[in-house]
Amino acid sequence: MPVCLKTEWIGEKTSPSRPSNSFPFPPVSTESLISMNSLPLRSLVAGLWVAGFNLPAATPLATGHADVGIGYEGGFDLHVHDGENDIEYSPADALLVVGSQSLQFSTGGSFAFLGPVGTPVWVLPQAENPDLLFLGLGTEELIPSEWTGNITLTLTSVSGPGQFYLWTVNPFGTPSVQMDSANGVSAADNTTQLPGSHGHYNWGFSALGTYGISFEASGLHVADGPQNSGPVVYHFEVVPEPGSLALGLFGLGAFGLLLRWRKA
């Protein structure tokens, strides 16, 4: 199946500082995307604290342009590049938020890999949507003359409440699936990209919740030979609509207070 992926050569790029829809499904009308600074999500953090959970110290990215970035410094360096603020994060220090407006529904047919007609799927789209995170794959930091052939990004594992999908859609509306955990994870779940380039995909999730998606980069360096990053985990959070979130927060907060009262 042909792949239609817009890429552009960027050339060498100095790494920024690092602190420690083209989509053929009918859109769903929901409330505005929840900001990670909004009251509902602040309440969620408070509710989890009350319940006694330890939360990871990660910076949430919910809108704007960001990339799964691949650099090289004697070995592959996988990171998250926040294009809005020109900041790089280690994958453990960034939370990639899939907002409620990402909800779409499978149309079946060539999209049957997402489930039968009407199956919900939450998608960060290939085409920019200002209400969602515009997530790409960037190899701009790699100098093309230093590499033989493409860089391959392979899915190695998926941890979470549902399945993960990565695909592109060509101008005729035909999808090309690069990764699909629903039929098992194997070496066939991969995408390739030219060194010094940039591309965008549809990043899909079959259920709400927190995911750990593990990727591995590989390529042939002219001077250093075959290179492999080993598995690197990226963290995604698929959030519900504000109404259902508020109800869940109320229950979570009440449950947390009950636990603390019983411990007293």
* pLDDT above 90 for 198: yes
Task: Please tell me the least confidently modeled range out of 49-58, 79-88, 168-177.
Answer: 49-58
Q: pTM higher than 0.85, yes or no?
A: no
Instruction: Give residue 56's pLDDT band: very low, low, confident or very high (50, 70, 90).
Output: low
**Of 21 and 16, which is predicted with more confidence?**
16
* Among 187, 190, 170, CA closest to 179: 190
**pLDDT, tens digit, for every residue of 84-132?**
999 999 999 999 999 999 999 999 999 999 999 999 999 999 999 999 9
Instruction: Give the whole-number percent of the chain exceeding pLDDT 70.
Output: 70
Rounded-to-integer distance, Cα 215 and Cα 200, Å: 16
Cβ atoms of residues 79 and 98 within 8 Å: no
Select the highest-mean-pLDDT range: 32-46, 159-173, 231-245. 159-173
Mean pLDDT, residues 236-256: 61
Domain spans of the chain?
39-45+58-248
Phi-psi map region of 45: left, alpha, beta (phi>0 left; psi -120 to 50 alpha)? alpha
Amino acid at 107: T
CA distances from 119 to 45, 57, 78, 185, 212 (A): 30, 33, 32, 21, 22
CA 234 to chain centre: 7
Cβ atoms of residues 221 and 211 within 8 Å: no
Q: What's the burial of 58, exposed, middle or buried (CB within 10 Å: 0-12/13-18/19+)? A: middle
